[in-house]
A and B are shown apart, each in its own frame.
Chain A
């Protein structure tokens, strides 16, 4: 069986050095990168010969990419198979958006790309280059919450909180386009997000009570 992907280890969070601490301090840095670079050397290149007319293929080893995340340029080195979500969580220390189903089903990874909500778990990082990416980290200004975040806090729109970043991003995308949605419009805009605790009523309340959302 093929080896499972790198972030299966996300499940493994025990005492001592936490996975997040480890990834944040080491994973994005030199150690992991140099090991992977070594592996890339060993990969056979024969299958990449292709036909003479074919444009060049990149990978499968890590390749340099540049992402525009929350208005900042982010230079990373990731494999073509790395998703936008994993690139930000595991290679850039931005763990705000969550990896839950990893299949484009739950919405916890929802980011806004070029003004529209997208599942970051089902978007290749390499394909997110050249686009305007906004994640949950980009909303608060210092200690001042974004109006949608503030509304979620006031409406108590969360229980365990794992789905919250995705819901907030979906609500932001909705309200930037349609500042006064009807209940039906809000429900439809939040269709792509799931809360297993079931706090949908409060999430909807938060989305509807938010005032003064403008792209800023």
Chain B
């Protein structure tokens, strides 16, 4: 990788003072699991890295009974946090599925949310793709078996973060700190489609830091779960997955939030599935109908039509798992 200078920021103020306004020139390093790989492949060549591991790395109760997670919290610490697991099981289960033990021991919550896409054209130094300022999305006429089945392009990545999907399902907000103060952004508003922002996957500016994820207190009757469909159990990303957060009254679903992952350039909220489920008695049939509604608008590419079925299965099983029912 290209040589760079290094700032070991003691706190948020120091870290912010070290950032710049030009994209990819000064970058924050958390666990470095994604960033160092990008740098070794010359996909980004920052002149300076700013260590943000000394920023808030705690998981704290909020006054309203939710949790506030510092971006510097490592995945392993989230996984081992008893309150987080009890309150937001889908989030913790997804964290457990990330990469490998070594990656979970180093990787941070902020890093997971802000990691760059795994599209093999984007990751290959030799392909000057749309996202890297080129003129072509090579996936359109290329090897697109793991690409998006939702969205109009022009870039067809799937968002790589699985925590992001749970954050949407639980209605999390992100705190973004910048030179002129901090702002709170809903997880759903944080991630951006490529037709809005081709060169980044979210609204974070080069001189800002994502410092905290705040999860609201679980509503009474909240039952949630995640279900991933994977080709490999480790060292890989899911083919498609889903998180279901259901507010239940007995066996009746009062309201639901269903979010799919690895199917679109952002975590993909399935509003149709949520509507299909609301007011219904939870069963294999109602879950299946909601899942069918979830993939209704899918527009698969030449080699990924199979993902529609996979996503549908993931949604069905996430709903059943959330409701405490047998997952077939």
Contact = CB atoms under 8 A, between A and B. Distances in A.
Interface string B1-27: 111111111100110011000000000
B33 A122 contact: yes
B102 A118 contact: yes
Contact of A57 (B5, B29, B32, B105): B5
A102 B102 CA distance: 14
Contacts of B29: 124, 127
A191 B234 contact: yes
A75 to B, nearest CB: 18
Nearest to B37: A103
Given A117-B102, A119-B103, A192-B100, A55 B6 contact: no
Nearest to B25: A47
Contact of A191 (B1, B51, B53, B101): B101
Contacts of A1: 42
A59 interface: yes
Interface string B97-121: 0011111011000000000000000
A189 B14 contact: no
A2 B6 contact: no
A122 B6 contact: no
Contacts of B234: 188, 191-192
Interface string A83-123: 10000000000000000001111010010010011110011
A104 B102 CA distance: 8
A191 B105 contact: no
Interface residues of A, number: 42
A9 interface: no
B48 interface: yes
B81 interface: no
B322 to A, nearest CB: 24
Contact of A59 (B5, B14, B101, B102): B5
Contact of A55 (B7, B47, B99, B100): B7
A149 interface: no
B10 to A, nearest CB: 7
A47 B3 CA distance: 13
B101 A192 contact: yes
A5 B45 CA distance: 13
Contact of B99 (A5, A113, A192, A194): A192
Contacts of B235: 105, 191-192, 194
A96 to B, nearest CB: 17
B40 interface: yes
B1 A123 contact: no
Given A2-B45, A105-B235, A81 B37 contact: no
Nearest 6 CB-CB pairings of A with B = A192-B100, A191-B234, A60-B3, A80-B6, A57-B5, A116-B105
Interface of B: 1-10, 13-14, 17-18, 29, 32-33, 36-37, 39-40, 42, 45, 47-49, 51, 53, 76, 99-103, 105-106, 233-235
Interface of A: 1-2, 5, 47-48, 50-51, 53-61, 79-81, 83, 102-105, 107, 110, 113, 116-119, 122-124, 126-127, 170, 188-189, 191-192, 194
11 contacts: A2-B42, A48-B48, A54-B18, A81-B2, A81-B3, A103-B37, A103-B40, A117-B101, A119-B103, A191-B100, A191-B101
